Amino acid sequence: MNKKRQLQLLISVVLIIVFGTIYFLNSQSQSKQKEPSIIPKINQEDEWQEVKIDEIGLTLRHPKDLIFRKEIADDNGRIRTVGFFLTKGAESNPEYQMYGLYQQFRDGTQQDLEMAKKEMDSVTIKEATIGSYSGIEGLIVGPKTRHITIVLKDGKLFSVSTAPPTQENKELTEKIMATLDFE
């Protein structure tokens, strides 16, 4: 692989991480906060609602007490990325936040997943799936520590991040990810 292609891949992976990090940094206060409270476990799926993201053919279910928001980035009507957020708590310091990002503008490869591992704590990296799509998951440590799962969906990168990365929040994200259904 030539150096130009390697540089393009590196820049693409960095953009994935930057998109997620920008939102999280903007939504968090700069001062240190107490450990956020834990979201109670949801035991009844009746308390969940369904959301469809038509732009990428994705349906998901989530607890009704989470606020859903989606963001579309496009160039003259051509979709580049589709992002969605599920949050609970104050916007400046949420108790729970899940951020999904689908990058429709470029092809993703196994090499992109390998490059993403460099940003993760090596002891946390493991194989992961979302539906029938495979990839990796791990913990990104830094100014905004978060748990992230990245998969290749039809040759495109799709990631889901969770912050704060408590065990309870990770478990809730896993329950929500189990409901993800791509058409």
Task: Render pLDDT for 113-124 as a digit per residue (tens, 0 to 9).
Answer: 999 999 999 999
Q: Does 37 fall in a domain?
A: no
Q: Is the pTM of this model over 0.75?
A: no
Number of domains observed in the structure of the chain: 1
Does residue 69 lie within any of the structural domains? yes
Assess if residue 162 is contained within a domain: yes
Q: Which residue stretches of the chain have pLDDT < 50?
A: 14, 18, 23, 25, 28-42, 44
Residue 146 domain-assigned (yes or no): yes
Instruction: Please report the DSSP string for 28-80 in residue order.
Output: S-SS--PPPPPPPPP--GGGEEEEEEGGGTEEEEEETTSEEEEEEEEETTEEE
Q: Is 58 a domain residue? A: yes
> What single DSSP character describes residue 95?
E
**What's the CATH number where 174 sits?**
3.40.1000
Domain that holds residue 150: 3-28+50-182
Question: What local confidence, expressed as pLDDT, does residue 1 receive?
Answer: 60
Residue 40 lies in a domain: no
Establish if 43 belongs to a structural domain.
Answer: no
pLDDT digits (tens, 9 = 90+) for 151-163: 999 999 999 999 9
